Amino acid sequence: MNNKIEKLNDYFREKFKIDFLNENKELSSEHVFGPKIGISAVSLLYVYAFIEKELETKISETFILEEKFASFDSICTLFE
């Protein structure tokens, strides 16, 4: 498993009580703004900042505009 994916999962587990890699695998493809997860836009900005700063991964404007910053699975494609 990619170390950055594990760190991102740790962040979600700590901040939002969602463990996409273990207990909540079925939610990993769900839209993070959707009713099953319900993360706010402001909270997602914190996720964005965590990825760019702590995981040292640049997120392009295109990635956002193409709605790839939408689910845990799609966000993890940044690390491939």
Kindly give the parts of the chain with pLDDT less than 70.
1
Residue 5: CB atoms within 10 Å? 19
pLDDT of residue 40: 94
pLDDT of residue 80: 87
pLDDT of residue 35: 93
Amino acid residing at 45: L
pLDDT of residue 74: 97
Domains of the chain are: 3-79 (1.10.1200.10)
E strand residue ranges, the chain: none
pLDDT of residue 38: 94
